[in-house]
Structures are given as C-alpha cells and as structure tokens.
Structure 1
Amino acid sequence: MGHWPRPANLLLVRIMHFTDTYLPRRDGVITSLRTLREPLAEAGHPSVTVVPAHPAQGAEPGLIRLPALACGIADLRLARWPLRPVRSSMIATLAEHTPDLIHVHSPGPVGLLGVIAARELGVPLVQTYHTDLHAYADAYRVPDFALRALARLYSRRLESPSLCTHRRNLTMKLRLWVQSEGAAQAHPSPLDLGNQLLLGPADAVIVPTPAVLERVTLPVDPQRIYLVPTGVAKPGPAADISHWGIEPGDKVVLFVGRVNREKGIDLLLPAFDRVLQAQPRARLVLVGAVYEPRWLRRMIRNDRVIVTGQQPPEAVAAAYQRADVFAFPSGTDTQALVLQEAALAGVPSVLVDPVLHRRGALAGAAVLADKDTFADAIIELLADPAAATALGELARANAARHTPQAFAAAMLDIYGKFVACGRTRSATPARADAAHSAA
C-alpha cells in the first residue's frame, strides 16, 4: 500500500475506534475499519480499536478486547454493557490511551460505550452509519415492542447528571423531527429514537454512499453529515481453490457476503435455477459465512451450487479471478464493498438495488435488474463475454477512484477539524459542502 504524506501543519491524531463486530467474523464494517487504519498509521496517526473479545482472535497490536459472549445470531458476540460501576473502570482504562478523538462504527454495546467514553473523556465523537437498521429490522421481522425496549435500554444507559436530554424530551424532539420531515407516522419509530440517542451526540456522522440518505432520513442536523466513500484495496494474492470443484469449462456466477436471508439469497437461488436452463455448465459459488444452514439447504435444489463458507482473503481473491458474473441480490446494503472488490477484479455485476446502482461506488457500471429479470440479466452476461468484459472494465475504472489512501485522507480531514477545535457543539457546525463526493 502506497504512502501519502501528512501535511506539516497537521497535528498528529490518536484515534480510538469502537466496533461491535470484528475478526474472525468478516463483514463490511470490519473491512472498512481495517482499510482505514492502515493508511492512517502509515501517515503517523495511531489507532486503538475496542472490540468484543473472541477466542479465535489472533494476536494483533492496538486491540482492546472487552469480555463478550456469543448472542446466537450471525456469529455476533455481545460485549458487556457499560453499567456502573464497571463503566468507570472501563473509562479509566480507555483514558490511559489518551485518545484525541473517538470513532464509533456500530450501534451495539461497544458502540454505546464509545458514545459514553467520548462524553466522559471530553473528546470529539465521529460516528459512521454503516448499517441500514430499518432494512435489517424488516428483513428479520423484529417486533416493534422489542425495538422499543431496546431504545429504552439505550436511553437509560446514556442518562447521567451531565446529560440533559432525557427520554421524554427526546421523544418530543423526535416527534418534531418526524413532523418536519413530513413523515406519515404520528410518532417516531424506535429505530429513529435509537439513532437519535446514538448519533445525536456526534460531532460528525459519516455515510459511505448517498444511498444511505436516500433510504433513511437520519435524525441528525444535515450540517453534521459527511459523505465519505470507503476505499477498497486491489485484490491480493490468490489461493488455490481447485478443491472447490470448479471445472475449466464452468461459467461461474459468484456471490460474496453473508449467505443469509437479508442478503437476498432467497432471490438468488431460484434465479440460478433459471440460469441453469440456459447455461447448463454454470456454477453458483457462495462465499461467506452461513448462519442458517438448514434454511439454506432447503433453498438449494441442484448440485451446481458450491457453498464454501467463510474464506480467507486469498481464497476470496481467487474466487473473484475465476468469476464470470458477480450476482448481488441484496436490498439492505449501504455500500456493498464486495461490488467494489469484484469490480477491481474486472468482474461485471448484476444487482437489484436501484439506489445502490445509481449512487454507489460503481456509478451505474453494473446491470440493474429486479426479482423478475435477475436471472435474465445473468444469462445475458454469460452469453456475451465481450459485453461482460467491457462492463467489468468500466466498473474497474469507477471503483479504482476509491482508494484506501483517499478514504483515509478524507477521514483525516474531518478528524482534524474537530481535534483542532475541540468539542465545538455551540460553535458554527462544519459546512456540509466539505463532504466528499462519492462520484
């Protein structure tokens, strides 16, 4: 990875990241975080990352591991809630690392601790809205009462003598916000309430693509929202994947990500059955963790589907190299870094999310389909290698603009504003036009 210089007049920034998801699990939040830290460190800005502990985590400098237990969902581990008096000892431990700024990447217990730590330590708070919580709640049919109970829990954890926004005032504020947005509901949803609790104290809220703002109206002053696309590194060395059973004449349709219902797998598998009718030598390769194996087995109706499970980066790089088409049926992703990874390998993509197609990092260099035409779009690309290659090269050029170095430079610009000025809640907020375009 190339080095980019730190301007002589820019102060060193010590960043403390907070994330509820980390290795050995793999997802977009982890990829984004790790992609950000490396060029920041190369430019002289050290990071410490607070994560839920996992017994399979390898040795890694700069990690603060919090005691955590498996929650039984998607291999997630929940760290200890920041309760008093344990919270005081946690904050004291974090204070020893003297962070200049806290960056929260997720809305779980670790992210909540980050919000509290920023307040207690008196340092600026930056948050990234990585996950479309509304879409995930819909995909998993999370009952409204459970979301409201969770919002109340967060509210209690965040209350303190120094926090003047209590639940009743906060609910009133959200109602006014809903009315100002012209929303149909009479009351704010519990997810809106949760977003206000967590994002409200932030000096800056980062969104990775404009698609986020088209899907969700965040209860945040637009002046505090910054658009910063995540950079993606070019694929690294490729491993030997011959044991997967892909034969030389096979046409490979690839999916990379959690092989789960929120990713649209229930659309992809029936579509692939139709692909096989036109392309009998096609193979569907599903690379990623499987958290509902019985559900997946019921969905697979032929022997041309290869399920690899979660793979190391070298095997994923080899999968991209072997793929003819990248199929992405998800409608819940805010940025879909795998689309950029596939593009950097020159693989054309088919997706169903019109907002991500129009406003994502590929800038339209992909085939947009819907649930009825998804299979047809894949078939057309498999049948026309020249068109597929041309589309893949255009996607590669668009994705190549979003490098890890550009990502880190944009984030450092935002960090520097707030570290230099201290917490400027009462001062004039940073201008929205300082946001970096995803185009």
Structure 2
Amino acid sequence: MKVAVFSDSYHPYVSGVVRSIDLFQEELVKRGVEFIFFIPAYGNHQKEKGVYRFYSIPAPTNKEFHLALPFSPKIYKTLREEKVDLIHVHSPFLLGRLGQKAGRQLNIPVVFTYHTLYEEYVHYFPLARKAAKWVTSWYTLDFANKCSAVICPTEAIKEYLQEKGLQARSAVIPTGIDLEPFAKADRRWLKEKLGLVSKKVCLFVGRVAREKNVDFLLESFKIVALKLNEVVLVIVGGGPELPHYQKKAEELGLKDKVIFFGPVAPEEVSLFYAGADLFLFPSVTETQGLVFAEAKAAGLPTVGVKAFGSKSMVFEGVDGFLTSLNLQEYAEKVIFLLEQEEVRKDFSQKALQNAQNFSKEYTAKLMFELYQSLLK
C-alpha cells in the first residue's frame, strides 16, 4: 500500500500536525505502508527520496510557517508513476486542496484528518472576523464532504462536525504517542536543572500564541501565585508572540514565578512532563491536544478548560479537571490539586492507566484498518 501525504505543515516546522504525521508513519511503515510526501520547501534542503517540496513563502502572521504555492503541472504524472493507492491530506487549504483535487481526477480515495478548529484562528484576520469565521467553517466543511473519509481525533469533534453538516464517512482515530520515553524519563531532571527542587512545578507545553489561551494561563496563574508561594510555572514552546507574553508575565508581577524555557526537541519533552507536578493547558482550539495524552503518559494530572479537544481527553474528577473560562474557577482547581497531595497522587495513577488508550501502536492499528477498508 502506498500513501501520498499532502500537508501544509511539515519539517523543519514543528507542530502537533507534524508530530501526528511522524507518529503514524513510524507505526504504519511497520505494517508495510509506504509513504511519499508533498510538502512546503523551507530554504535550502537536500533532495529526499519520496519527498516532493513546493516553493513556499513565509506566512505574514508567522514567519516560521511557510505557505506553499500549490501548483505543479506534473502532479498527476507523479502520482501515477508512484502508483499511489490512497491520498491522505492534513489540511483543507493549499496542498491539502491540491491533494483532494488530484484524488478526484485520478479516482484515488482521499482521507482528511481534521487536526484543527480552523475557525477559531480568525484572530489572525485584521478585519471582518465574524465573516471570516463563517467562511472558514463553511469552506472546511465543504472540503471534508468531498473526501472519502474524515478522521476526527475525538468523538466530540465528530459530533461537532456532524451537527455542522458533515455527511462524509467519519472515524474517530486520535493521534497516539510513544509511551515508553515518558515512563523512563528522569523525574528529578527538570527541578534540578532549573533549581526548583523545593518548588511545586506547573507545566505548559505548546505554541506560545493567542490561540493557546496563554493570556488566560498567565492571568489565572497570578491568582495561584498569590495564594501559594512555592509554585512556579514552566512554559515550554516557542512562537512569534513569545516576547509579548514574557513582557506580560513581568507586568503581572510574575517575573520570578514564570520560566519561559523556549522550544525543545521532541525527544526531550518527556523530561519536562516527568519533572512537573501539574499540567496546565487552557487552550480552546484543540481538536485533540496531543499534549493531554503526553501528560497522561507521564502520570501528570491536568487542569484544562471545557472545549472540544479537552472533553474527550481529560476525565473530569478522575485524572484532571475542566473548568469554564473563569480565571478564579481555573485557579482554584490548580490550587486544590497542588495542596491536596493524596488527590494529586490518585489522579496521577489514573492518568497513567488512561494513557494506554493513546498508545501509538493502538491508534496506528485503527488507521491501518481504515486505509484497508477504503481500498476494498
């Protein structure tokens, strides 16, 4: 079986989409699946077998992310010569649209993974945000309905899309993770490295940007810091808005309470989860939120907010809490778990147990079965 992957997000850019593609590829290759890629070019890069890069330009709102120009007179010829059985697109835009069009022209099944609540990103539009949100929602749904199958990371996202009018075949397949690095990670490393041995550490992992609700995170943590003296928030991740949030933390009087560690290599991220006491992730734009699964794998209780991605990932009162977008309510749940050590330990054990549902081996099995069913 040969699968052509079309994605607007790929290496060297780091994102949840890229990590999802990597994790599924790693496992599906073991099952005999062969992959080729149609992705954006990033400056100078060596020619890679089975990788077709498109000329791209930096995005206006994020220079790290490149927008591919999805034009190729040879695309149909290439897909025929490669003898592609199935096309998997990871975005409804640019290269994703190109992949879908090629699938229709060549009668190749097209799978679309709905990674992102795209309409929640309209804050990047300077004008007409309400209209932009409606158009984005309509466009994405129209795209999905023209695919052979739509992969939803959670049941909540599947229900949301069906309520909006999704009629295409759909399947719930979360992105799995490699559980082993989290189980083996040194739990002392983080606090020793940052000089926080006597502190309670709250952790955020993700893109430091508005759509991740970092404003809410910092403002609620100020309430926590006023109540508990020996607590620190470590923020792991980068992004163009990082300097803005560093300044905001200072303005909130959190200069000594918040550590912006910056981006880390994927193979090192388990050390941060393993060394923390609590995971904080108030984003409302996730379809799944791979970081929720990573926190579980490290036995880390989570405090999130009620949203599509979190509702299927955090089990309320079992391995974490979900609150409304109320600063005081959120802070109180954080304070409760930091103060109640026995409850936190119980949540930690439950998180480890629930992590088994997100092993990369299990989720890859579900993906492989979907692929097979589309080729019958």
Q: TM-score, normalised by structure 1?
A: 0.76
Q: For structure 1, which segment, 108-117 or 251-260, has the greater mean C-alpha deviation from structure 2 after superposition?
A: 108-117
Question: 1:247: how far off?
Answer: 2.0
Q: Deviations over 1:62-104 (max 9, x none)?
A: 432222111133321101133xxxx322332333221100010
Q: 2:364 aligns with which of 408, 432, 435?
A: 408
Q: 1:233 aligns with which of 157, 174, 178?
A: 178
Q: Which residue in 2 is equivalent to 1:257? A: 206
Q: Does 1:99 align with 2:84?
A: yes
User: In 2, are the aligned partners of 1:285 and 1:308 still within 8 Å (CA)?
Assistant: yes
Partner Cα distance (2:101, 2:261) in 1: 40
Q: Which residue in 2 is equivalent to 1:321? A: 274
Amino acid of the structure 2 residue aligned with 1:41: V
Pick closer, same or farther for the CA change 1:77–1:354 going to 2, 3 Å. Answer: closer
Q: Does 1:295 align with 2:295?
A: no
- Calculate percent identity across the aligned residue pairs: 31
Q: 2:283 aligns with which of 314, 330, 339?
A: 330
Q: 2:96 aligns with which of 102, 107, 111?
A: 111
Q: Which residue in 1 is equivalent to 2:4? A: 16
Question: 1:57: how far off?
Answer: 6.5
Partner Cα distance (1:61, 1:275) in 2: 51
Pick closer, same or farther for the CA change 1:381–1:47 going to 2, 3 Å. Answer: same
Q: Deviations over 1:221-249 (max 9, x none)?
A: 15x12112221211526586579624211
User: In 2, are the aligned partners of 1:20 and 1:110 still within 8 Å (CA)?
Assistant: yes
Partner Cα distance (1:215, 1:140) in 2: 23
Q: Which residue in 2 is equivalent to 1:28? A: 16
Q: Which residue in 1 is equivalent to 2:323? A: 369
Q: Deviations over 1:197-256 (max 9, x none)?
A: 42232111111102213544443215x121122212115265865796242112110000
User: In 2, are the aligned partners of 1:19 and 1:106 still within 8 Å (CA)?
Assistant: yes
Q: Does 1:395 align with 2:351?
A: yes
Partner Cα distance (1:315, 1:339) in 2: 17
Partner Cα distance (1:145, 1:135) in 2: 10
Q: Deviations over 1:333-371 (max 9, x none)?
A: 110110110110001000112544442365763112232
Q: For structure 1, which segment, 21-30 or 258-267, has the greater mean C-alpha deviation from structure 2 after superposition?
A: 21-30
User: In 2, are the aligned partners of 1:14 and 1:99 still within 8 Å (CA)?
Assistant: yes
Amino acid of the structure 2 residue aligned with 1:108: F
Pick closer, same or farther for the CA change 1:238–1:24 going to 2, 3 Å. Answer: farther
User: In 2, are the aligned partners of 1:235 and 1:341 still within 8 Å (CA)?
Assistant: no
Q: Deviations over 1:369-394 (max 9, x none)?
A: 23231111111111122211210211
Partner Cα distance (1:324, 1:196) in 2: 39
Q: Which residue in 2 is equivalent to 1:194? A: 139
Q: Deviations over 1:146-199 (max 9, x none)?
A: 976xxxxxxxxxxxxxxxxxxxxxxxxxxxxxxxxxxxxxxx931243124422
Partner Cα distance (1:265, 1:79) in 2: 28
Partner Cα distance (1:311, 1:201) in 2: 38
Q: TM-score, normalised by structure 2?
A: 0.88
Partner Cα distance (2:130, 2:57) in 1: 20
User: In 2, are the aligned partners of 1:229 and 1:361 still within 8 Å (CA)?
Assistant: no
User: In 1, are the aligned partners of 2:225 and 2:231 still within 8 Å (CA)?
Assistant: yes
Amino acid of the structure 1 residue aligned with 2:153: P
Partner Cα distance (1:234, 1:292) in 2: 31
Q: 1:267 aligns with which of 216, 241, 251?
A: 216
How many pairs align? 363
Give 1 or 2 for the bigger CA radius of gyration.
Answer: 1
Question: 1:331: how far off?
Answer: 1.0
SS of the residue corresponding to residue 126 of structure 1 reads strand
Q: 1:78 aligns with which of 64, 67, 75?
A: 67
Question: 1:126: how far off?
Answer: 0.8
Amino acid of the structure 1 residue aligned with 2:332: D
SS of the residue corresponding to residue 300 of structure 1 reads helix
Question: 1:125: how far off?
Answer: 0.7
Q: For structure 1, which segment, 95-104 or 24-33, has the greater mean C-alpha deviation from structure 2 after superposition?
A: 24-33
Q: What is the alpha-carbon root mean square deviation over aligned residues?
A: 2.5
Amino acid of the structure 1 residue aligned with 2:319: A
